[in-house]
A and B are shown apart, each in its own frame.
Chain A
Amino acid sequence: MNHLKLLLTRPLQKVSISAAVIVLIVALVGFADSTYLTVEHYRGVIPPCTVVAGCEQVLTSAYATILGVPVALGGAVFYLLVALGAFAYIEGRHERLFRYGLALTVIGFIFTLWFLYVQAFLLKAFCQYCLVSAVTSTLLFVMAVYIFKRYRATL
């Protein structure tokens, strides 16, 4: 908890641009993936059941929406914000935007753990696109931890 507070208040110093670029690229991949799922949700097409995996079971389940909003849309917004933060840093060294974006990855990671649990234990079905998102959000979380450890300003 204390770490989370530090992360919101203490600035980062001279984060290497390549680290920010990695965050940007991973966030854009996640953005593409969750955009796909969001469009699929709103297009109203009934996803056929395929031999390979249980996408339709996951995407039509009660866990796919929260208060009527598809979680994929939440994912798309999350990745968009992280990408914006990383881009703002690369473009104009907006340290604060980047830091807030990285702080969001903690929440993203918690959601990822929940959705993995839902797929593995409650639905017993996996959806490839959801797993892609699990990978990207985990990578972002790992990058965030790395950046905070390495580049946090010492007081």
Chain B
Amino acid sequence: MNIKRIIFWLGFIIILALIVWGVVVAMNKEIVPPVQSDGSPAPISATDSVRGPEGAPVTLIEYSDFQCPACAAYYPIVERLLAEASSTVRFVYRHYPLPQHRIAEPAAQAAEAAGRQGKFWDMSGLIFVNQLSWQDLSPIQAKSVFKGYAERLGLNVANFEKDYEDSAIKAKISADYRDGQTIGVNATPTFFVNGKAITNPPNYESFKVIIDAAAAESLD
């Protein structure tokens, strides 16, 4: 094997390595905030589902889609965050049902309908945890699954069913979606910490760091 051939093959291997390296670098760049505009989410309104103390130093707003696997994966992370930083975080859940998810909107209606009876968070928990069992159903089948959750939560099922179809609830969901669009939400979940979009943290620990930093900043 002469030098020329060795160089040739080395060149080939270097090209392969460059491809792998380029891909990894491009991916690390890619996870910077999914939000493109500098828009800030609308202030908390009376129709919002809110948890946590009113004067909390950190307001966490999530634009989420019940049928999105990533949103379901963030559900336990957010729950743990709210449990362990209960005095510092005020959490707002807003709907961003993506068009390709057929059951995202029905699920949002179910959560809002349960919210009328004070069980928004319990219902959204059940919806997220059981995502795999309803994601492939038709909207009608999904509705009966959600009705089953309402029974499990001890809700007044007749009222739940009525509210499920309520136009005010549907309007609230589409208003959330439109608000999200105007501030540039293009992926779910998108989190805003004190009005600023954050890069989705890969795990609980890094999420906690962001929350703690925001709390320290606003207490200064």
Q: Are B65 and A49 in contact (CB under 8 A)?
A: yes
Among listed B23-31, B37-45, B80-88, B106-114, interface-contacting one? B23-31
Tell me what chain B mostly uses at the interface: helix, strand, loop, or mixed: helix
In the complex, chain A residues whose CB is within 8 Å of the CB of B70: 46-49, 56
B101 within 8 A of partner (CB): yes
Query: Interface size class for chain B?
Result: 20 to 34
A31 within 8 A of partner (CB): yes
Q: Are B74 and A46 in contact (CB under 8 A)?
A: yes
Q: How many A-B residue pairs have CB under 8 A?
A: 72
Q: Closest CB-CB distance, B122 to chain A, in whole Å?
A: 24
A60 within 8 A of partner (CB): yes
Q: Are A48 and B188 in contact (CB under 8 A)?
A: yes
In the complex, chain B residues whose CB is within 8 Å of the CB of A70: none
Choose from B8, B23, B24, B188 the contact partner of A49 (Cβ within 8 Å): B188
Closest A-chain residue to B26, C-beta based?
Answer: A36
Q: Are B27 and A40 in contact (CB under 8 A)?
A: yes
Q: Are B202 and A48 in contact (CB under 8 A)?
A: no
Interface residues of A (CB under 8 A from B): 28, 31-32, 35-36, 39-40, 43-54, 56-57, 60, 80, 83, 87, 91-92, 125
Interface residues of B (CB under 8 A from A): 5, 8-9, 12, 15-16, 19-20, 22-24, 26-27, 31, 34, 65, 68-71, 73-74, 98-101, 186-190, 200, 202
